[in-house]
Structure 1
Amino acid sequence: MDCHSQERLSAHHICRKTFLGAAQFDTGNGITLCRTCHREAHAGFNGRPDMSLPVDAQGGEKLASMERLYSILLDDAIERGRMCEEYYFLSDEVLGFLKVLQGFDPKTYFPGSRLERAYLILAEPELQMRQAIAGANGFSFGEQPLLPGGVMIVFDDEKDRSQSSILQARWGRL
């Protein structure tokens, strides 16, 4: 989806407008793709989603693709020195919706610009899945995001293998 072609371009909503109408006119929810990449992004289900089903049950949301497209948009904004809300705006409603998709409370803190937050939210492991895997291994991460740049210290000593033996420092805070 990032072929860098400059021919036969199409505008694409990263978060489908039929999935979240509030994102339709947010400038941070659009990306330009070549026609082939645009077709690939719409491959599979492309109708109105049944919101009673789990996310992506019909194959239309493609959360991993959304994460990738926000990553491409973010990289482009940084490379061009255009990281500003005017060009890459995403509403609180859209960001809150993405948080809920990943299992977080809409008020959960994610750092950075709105575009950076969209990427970080979608790059997070889904909260319930993360908790289930951690619990199956005898520990917990809690309900806060596991943001990049954090430090995790795990003591290998079996007697210290408790929830309190896992320390995390995120974004300079311990």
Structure 2
Amino acid sequence: MPVDAQGGEKLATMERLYSILTDDAVERGLMRDQFYFLSDELLATFKRMQGYDPATYFPGSCIEQAYLILAESEFGSRRAMAEANGVPITDKPLLPGGLYLVLTDRDGQPTKSLIVQTYMPRSKPTTD
């Protein structure tokens, strides 16, 4: 079940707060790992909560990665919808602004899915 299936967690609120924090740090020129540290273990936990392998790549600083992970639809739900419609699925995340393309054969049957990422990270982690 998705992490917020019982209404206990507030993923949308967490996502929004990480997004605001990222924007604020970028605008102030304060994006520093020592100011906004999130461990690899926490990011891996967020990925698992959303149904992704902990090694799945998300761009940006750690707080931007947290935002992007939480902004994703839960992978199991996305997979179930794709399978119910006979659409092959990829395990890559669909970042904001991305495109999910389904290639078909000459008969119009889905054969392969591709994700085109257009997302440009708002932040770059720095350690100085």
Bigger RCO (CA 8 Å, 6+ sep): 2
Matched, 1:122 2:87: no
Partner Cα separation in structure 1 for residue 83 and residue 33 of structure 2: 39
Q: How far is 1:151 from its partner?
A: 3.7
TM-superposed deviation, 1:127? 0.3
Structure 1 residue 98 corresponds to structure 2 residue 42? no
Q: 1:11-30 to 2 correspondence within 5 Å?
A: none
117-126 or 79-88, which deviates more = 79-88
4+ aligned runs moved over 6 Å, structure 1: none
Instruction: Give the aligned partner of residue 64 of structure 1.
Output: 12
How far residue 149 of structure 1 moved from its aligned partner, in angstroms, is 4.2
Instruction: Deviation per CA, 1:66-113: give whole Å up to 9, x if none.
Output: 111111111111111111211111001110110010011111111111
Alignment partner of 1:87 is 2:32: no
1:161 matches 2:109: yes
Query: Mapping of 1:47-62 within 5 angstroms?
Result: 55-56=3-4, 59-62=7-10
Task: Count how many residue pairs are aligned between Structure 1 and Structure 2.
Answer: 119
Matches within 5 A, 1:133-152: 133-152=81-100
Identity of aligned residues (%): 57
TM-score by length of 2: 0.78
- Displacement of 1:162 after TM fit? 1.2
Unaligned runs of 5+ in 2: 120-128
After superposition, the CA RMSD in angstroms is: 2.6
Is contact 2:46–2:70 with CA below 8 Å preserved after alignment? yes
Tell me the residue number matched to 1:112: 60
AA aligned to 1:99 is K
Counterpart-to-counterpart distance in 2, 1:106 and 1:154: 25
Displacement of 1:54 after TM fit?
6.3
Structure 1 142/155 Cα, relative in aligned 2: closer, same or farther at 3 Å? closer
5+ residue gaps, structure 1:
1-52
